[in-house]
Amino acid sequence: MNILITGVAGFIGFHLAKKVLDELPEAMIIGLDNFNNYYDVGLKQSRLNILNEHNNFVFIKGDLSDRQTVDSLFSNHNPNVVVNLAAQAGVRYSITNPQSYINSNLIGFFNILESCRTHMPEHLIYASSSSVYGLNEKIPYSTDDKTDSPVSLYAATKKSNELMAYSYAKLYDIKMTGLRFFTVYGEYGRPDMAYYSFTEKMVNNRPIQLFNNGDMRRDFTYIDDVIKAMVKIIEKGQIRKENGVSHKIYNIGNSKPENLLYFTDTLENALLTEGLISKPAKRDFLPMQQGDVYQTFADVIELEHDYGFKPETPLNEGLLRFAKWYKSYYEL
């Protein structure tokens, strides 16, 4: 089995590639990443160094928005399964740097779809986001809910990906599965995410910023739980269609939203336990930021039914594992 993973040096892409390489030795992973500088490139290189230790891993540096690069990938490696995780991430960054989202999330995804149309892999799995639910007040969020009121360009591009995928599945009968990720966290994570940036500030004795005065709720989902589900989707293939079309979207979250203040206290305790800090951090309470939503809450019944997904990692355990990794990685 040849599996193409785009964004392979990214947070989720790295963990997925490593899990497959460790547990499915018969699989060949072809990884693509453009190594952009949205966050520390050194962290991406560290992830890639681990993957390069495997003989059944091939890395190509390139950009999804380059049509020739994508076509060459498919022609040279003929992937059975494509996992598209490459994207410009971040809600707030999309407010000031919109062009990068168009290039990566729209043009890049179009290039993936076109290559799938030509080469017809067995399955395309692609990343969407809980951000598509916007200001939806109905909870928990179900994939049957309306998602036509995005509050950021990032969310709009992810919703666009879902619509583009559906149309290609309908027109060309390409099997596709979209995954709406809910606040994934863990080791080798993204430094722009709250748990990572909070840790960096606490360790350096700087105040942390709590938006909406700390009154926010997030469905924090530990990376290992996410990856277990993704591997099952790769192994089992597509199980369910959407209105007769070979396209299905799933929520992939913890299905247990936590208050931001509780999250901060739990992270703080993990850092204290590991000796990374010696006292609680100073907290600055700020108003809601543009593009943010108050709450995310995943209904994961379909994913549990079809693939046996069941999140198992409580927040305190996941954050303690992250704190241990952070201490080791930065040699603190």
113 touches 7 (CB < 8 A): no
174 touches 168 (CB < 8 A): yes
Distance CA 41, CA 45 (A): 6
List strands edge to edge, sheet with 57-61.
57-61, 28-33, 2-6, 81-84, 123-129, 176-181, 247-252
10, 178, 207, 226, 301 from 247: Cα distances, Å: 25, 8, 45, 20, 17
Amino acid sitting at position 34: N
Q: How do 123-129 and 221-222 pair as beta strands?
A: unpaired
∠ CA(228), CA(234), CA(238), 5° rounding? 120
74 touches 118 (CB < 8 A): yes
- Quickly tell me which residue has 């681990």 as its tokens: 50
- Given 154, 166, 168, 195, which residue is catalytic? 154
39 has catalytic annotation: no
Strand ranges inside the chain, DSSP E? 2-6, 28-33, 57-61, 81-84, 123-129, 176-181, 184-185, 208-211, 217-218, 221-222, 247-252, 258-259, 283-286
For the annotated catalytic residues, the residue numbers are 154
